[in-house]
Amino acid sequence: MPIDFPPIKSKIFQASASDAGTLATLRLMGTADASVHVHVQQAVTVMREQARALQVSEVAVDMRELEFMNSSCFKCFITWLSDLLEQPAEQRYRIRFLSDPSKHWQHRSLRALSCFAVDLVTIEA
């Protein structure tokens, strides 16, 4: 069953998803500020549902083309991780963030986020 993720496209923010075997990828691009919070929330919510439905072992979140994300949008990921941590061990999957080391906000925010679940979250720069 292929991933069911309608692409999200606004003037400043885009999100798309794909899957291959036990790996799903969420790709975020553009700028995620307060004006697109609802889109970010939608992207994360749908990906959570799909990851569970497809029983993936890993979700890659590709932020390399994401220029900026404000804290209110980033909180969607905190909620995602919190929820994941409270799932039974067999329903958990790993989340691998692909980041751009030249974007400093990613470094700090993802590092803090990884404190939630060091065994589930990987950051690749």
Partner 1 sequence: MSSTTAEGLPDEFVQRFRQLVAERLARAESLWFSLLQGTGHDAEAAELLRVVHTLKGDAGVIGLTDVHLVCHELEELLDVAKDVAWAVPDDLDLLVTMSFHFIGLLARRPAGAPVAGIDLAGFVQEVDQAVRATRALERFAGTSPRGSLAAAPEDASLDQESRLARAATLAFLEHLGARGASRERLHQLWKLLRQEVAQSSSTPLQRLVERHVGATKELGEQLGKLVDVEVEVRGLSVTRRVADALDVGLLHGIRNAIDHGLEPPHERTGAGKPPRGRIRVTAAIEGDVVEMVVEDDGRGFDHAAIVQRALDNGLVGDTERDAERGEARFDVHELVFRSGFSTAHRAGRISGRGVGLDAARAALGKVGGQVTARARDGGGARIVMRVPALVHHMQVYVFEVRPGIPVAIPATWVVTVSPEPEGAEAPGVRRPFVIDPLEALGIAAQLEHVEHVEHVLMLRRGLLHVHFGASSLPRLATAQRICPTTASDPMEVVMVQGREVLVLRPEQLAEAALLDGWRSPSRAT
Could you give the strand order of the β-sheet that contains 58-69, starting from the edge strand earlier in sequence? 8-9, 13-20, 23-32, 58-69, 94-98, 121-124
Half-sphere exposure of 82 (CA within 13 A, CB side): 6
Binding to partner 1, residues 3-62 (CB under 8 A) = 21-23, 57-58
**Minimum distance from CB of 6 to partner 1 (Å)?**
27
Interface with partner 1 (CB under 8 A), residue from 16, 41, 42, 67: 67
CA distance 78 to 122: 14
64 contacts partner 1 (rule: CB under 8 A): no
Interface with partner 1 (CB under 8 A), residue from 18, 64, 70, 100: 70
Answer yes or no: are the C-beta atoms of 23 and 57 closer than 8 Å: yes
Q: Give me the residues that bind partner 1 (CB under 8 A), please.
A: 21-23, 57-58, 67-68, 70-71, 74-75, 78-79, 82, 85-86, 89, 101-105, 107-109, 111-120, 122-125
